[in-house]
Structure 1
Amino acid sequence: MPARLRHHSVAATQYGGPVGDPTHRVYFSRDNVPLSPWHDIPLLVNASAREYNMVCEIPRWTNAKLEIDNTTPFNPIKQDSKKGRPRYVADVFPYKGYIWNYGALPQTFEDPKHRDEDTGCVGDSDPVDVIEVGQAICAEGSVHRVKVLGLVALIDDGETDWKILALRTDDPMAERIHNIQSLESCMPGLIGATVDWFSKYKVPDGKPLNSWAFDGRAKDADYAHSVIAATHKAWSRLIHSETDAGFAL
């Protein structure tokens, strides 16, 4: 019997093996009709409040590298593998696995053909990553309404890899945290730990420290919203393109 998780009318159903097995997949549906978490879940929940849907790929404190598969029909969450072996992030002292809930914004695309004016790098060919900093541990495949606080801009193998800092709107701290300043006030050190984690997380695999745009400084919510809008337009161009470059649309 596959495990079943629900958020409103969206269901996420596990197939294949458990997390850690290369066959692990989580597919999405609504009213028993298959859907893509990348293409069919709306980006915006409330346009006037600028609140978005986030698809959780990786629960906090876990190590398995899970991600939306942008090359397979219906874009399930998959266990990332390399040469047939499942991939994990190492525990880099003092951290345990991913230190926040980690996921993606649907209907966004970091265009590998577009060089960002501010970072000087092209996109990484994926939906935009979201770091959800709230108190609850989110389940793989769950969908959450979040508000955006800001972002940091990782440069990963020469590509721009935006990391949106966000908070679930139902989090107990949601009434107090609205931007980078209040995040730092209410959760001191979290932004610095985030930059430190992403700088070091590939070092155990024999790779060098990652680098950053803006010297690792967080940009504010308005900047983050502009990045989200631009990547949403890039997604729209992708799905209307005659050349999909291998993406499952």
Structure 2
Amino acid sequence: MAFSVEERGRANTLDYRVYFKNAEGTFISPFHDIPIYADEAQNIFHAVVEVSRWTNAKMEIATSDPLNPLKQDVKKGNLRFVANVFPHKGYIWNYGAIPQTWEDPNHKDRDTGCCGDNDPIDICDIGDKVCVRGDVIRVKVLGALALIDEGETDWKLIVINTEDPQAPEYNDIEDVRRLKPGYLEATFDWFKRYKVPDGKPENQFAFGGEFKNRDFAIDTVKSTHEFWKAMITKQSDAGDINCTNTGVADSPFCVSAASAEAVVKSTCAFGPEVSIPSSVDKWFYCEK
């Protein structure tokens, strides 16, 4: 299954968007139209790469925009870049989300005691390849970390790209601990402290910060897929989520290819990117 992207606006500006197309050239929603499964029998999932490893721009699926393109997160009118908290430079994995999942903000997780964060479920790809923003990859789920972000459950799945030469060696969270010593500890440390340079306290975690295993993580993915199915068929309240799609047959939000193209063409034309502010290269040193 092949996908491509079309950029609009200028990178590192408020107008920048990355729209997705399927193999037929129809504009689609990466949130709703890309199938969750790449191989259901083998529990191989699709994942949308929002952020390339070592970069700082906080790109994300725009859940409230028609067709849900990638855009850069904004806070108080300014583009968001994650800080370099020593020794971590930007994101330390390819970061993204699994399509057709939704952490329902009206559902209290029985394990964490907190409601969902209203986004598709996040992934941290630990494979060696540095992916490109907008890549759609096939991943094996290895485990999960339950971040509690301002009182909301925000699952972070540890995955590996199936194209990684070492992927066959990774089948559960303990394989990461064994084959990439220090990586899980660095991941925990990253999520705990990445907001500290913004003046916020360290993040909290469910399960005392323990990484849950593969089976637990896959069950979590499947439950968020059920929440998404209820939302996209209008069986639950989507709130401010934009459910426009071009390929979910039983969804009342499905639109024609022409309507989808009109959405994209109404946005700013693609242009040369704007330089990233020099302040993004600053390093922060925080006591543990």
What TM-score bracket applies, with the shorter chain setting the length? over 0.9
Question: What is residue 29 of structure 2 aligned with on the other side?
Answer: 36
Q: Alpha-carbon deviations, 1:6-50, whole Å to 9, x = none?
A: xx52111111011x2111110001222110000000001111110
The aligned runs of 1:42-61 (5 Å cut-off) are 42-61=35-54
How far the C-alpha of 1:82 sits from its partner, in A, is: 1.6
Deviates more, 1:144-153 or 1:79-88: 79-88
**Structure index of larger Rg:** 2
Higher percent of residues as strand: 1
The aligned runs of 1:146-157 (5 Å cut-off) are 146-157=139-150
- Larger relative contact order, structure 1 or 2 (CA cutoff 8 Å, min sep 6): 2
SS at match of 1:122: coil
Question: What is residue 81 of structure 2 aligned with on the other side?
Answer: 88
How far the C-alpha of 1:196 sits from its partner, in A, is: 0.4
Question: What is residue 25 of structure 1 aligned with on the other side?
Answer: 17
Distance in 1 between residues matched to 2:92 and 2:238, nearest whole Å: 34
Distance in 2 between residues matched to 1:116 and 1:80, nearest whole Å: 26
Q: Does 1:246 align with 2:264?
A: no
Percent of residue pairs identical: 47
Question: What is residue 160 of structure 1 aligned with on the other side?
Answer: 153
After the TM superposition, list the runs of 4 or more consecutive aligned residues in structure 1 that deviate by more than 2 angstroms: none
How far the C-alpha of 1:74 sits from its partner, in A, is: 0.5
Question: What is residue 253 of structure 2 aligned with on the other side?
Answer: none
SS at match of 2:14: coil
Question: What is residue 103 of structure 2 aligned with on the other side?
Answer: 110
Distance in 2 between residues matched to 1:12 and 1:110, nearest whole Å: 25
Higher percent of residues as helix: 2
The aligned runs of 1:73-84 (5 Å cut-off) are 73-84=66-77
How far the C-alpha of 1:247 sits from its partner, in A, is: 1.1
SS at match of 2:169: coil
TM-score, normalised with respect to structure 2: 0.82
How far the C-alpha of 1:98 sits from its partner, in A, is: 0.3
Gaps of 5+ in 2: 244-288
How far the C-alpha of 1:240 sits from its partner, in A, is: 1.6
Distance in 1 between residues matched to 2:168 and 2:40, nearest whole Å: 19
Q: Does 1:14 align with 2:19?
A: no
How far the C-alpha of 1:244 sits from its partner, in A, is: 2.7
SS at match of 1:238: helix
Q: Amino acid of the residue matched to residue 240 of structure 2?
A: G
Question: What is residue 193 of structure 1 aligned with on the other side?
Answer: 186
Q: Report the RMSD for the aligned CA atoms in angstroms.
A: 0.9
Q: Alpha-carbon deviations, 1:102-139, whole Å to 9, x = none?
A: 00000000000000011000000000000000000010
Gaps of 5+ in 1: 1-7
Q: Alpha-carbon deviations, 1:39-92, whole Å to 9, x = none?
A: 000001111110000000000000000000011111000011122210010000
SS at match of 1:123: coil
How far the C-alpha of 1:182 sits from its partner, in A, is: 1.0
Deviates more, 1:236-245 or 1:75-84: 236-245
Matched length = 241
